[in-house]
Structure 1
């Protein structure tokens, strides 16, 4: 059973996250001090900007340069992507190459605009027809958009997972509805969504501390177990 950061921009020089190997090493040290065992390296992927093969090549180069310095230091890194939703993605080729390595787990970022029924249908098809284990990234960031309320409710009825940013648990006003989501089984995993050192830093430990204080150690253990099984066997867990 591992402590997993389900969302990070830890790879240097590939997106708006870490700008250098040195910064990444500092971020890894911070995460390690918080007890993180595994970080999912989920660099941004935008189909409108990137060809999959180009993205994969840049990601591999960044990872290999980092590993020359990192070696066995700090949390294990699992390569993946934060895939921005795009129209037609449920029929797109090579999405499997963007999943978390060794799994069918796809970290999906929904648009920060009004959603349409066709968007929700595409997510449903990613799960039901493509058999991806979809994790919705930082769902709480959309909850303040009234135009998407009914669509969020529909998504929460699907057999998928929800990732919440640790930062969102640190303020009491936002914390309460998110804790209820975790209690009801509508939120499943935490991610730091870390980008750098001076802001949007690795903070999974702070979010986990809130969950443990409010929901108990057994809840944290169950979350860690669920995440570990999901990544190890590629999806034979129940939401």
Structure 2
């Protein structure tokens, strides 16, 4: 850290960073993007991608830049929304750093490429990180936990599940998104009925996908509605 940052003043200076919880589904698993830190603090530890916001950029611009620099991913193609602010004075050993966390979602995102202060970037199964509070640097375990619950909740009330699908998808592919993220099996008939009875959730294209074996499946695209009415609520059992 530069000497001028170490100067003690009557009012301690604060800095702003952005961190990103980026989720995709690969090989039927919910994955989160991590980087291996190439600098102190927490050298060699896994962390969410992120960094300092530059003087002349907005928070969103900083998030998009960090995503591009640290992982080689174009965030403009993702569903990107602000998750919240984290300002515990002890969250960063370098000083008072407030971070704005972003949630990003995309369909089967490619293998990332590490850069800048990241030794490498990689997809990690969320199931291997839940409950391991010391696994990630800074307060990133808390950010990851809140981001994950945000995604699970948003699946109930919004059309965000379609962000994990391509432009065209089958109802079976959409159901798989819910099953992977909620961690429960859903009854195909009940799921189909509820999706098609939710106004504006999906829009039929009139086309079909022909698998190597089995019956062809109708193709849909995301509809015009964002809020789902009625919502698709998580149940206590294993069916919708």
| Normalised TM-score (structure 2) | 0.26
| Normalised TM-score (structure 1) | 0.26
Bigger radius of gyration, 1 or 2? 2
The structure, 1 or 2, with the larger RCO (C-alpha pairs under 8 Å, 6+ apart) is 1
From the two aligned structures, give the one with the greater helix fraction. Answer: 1
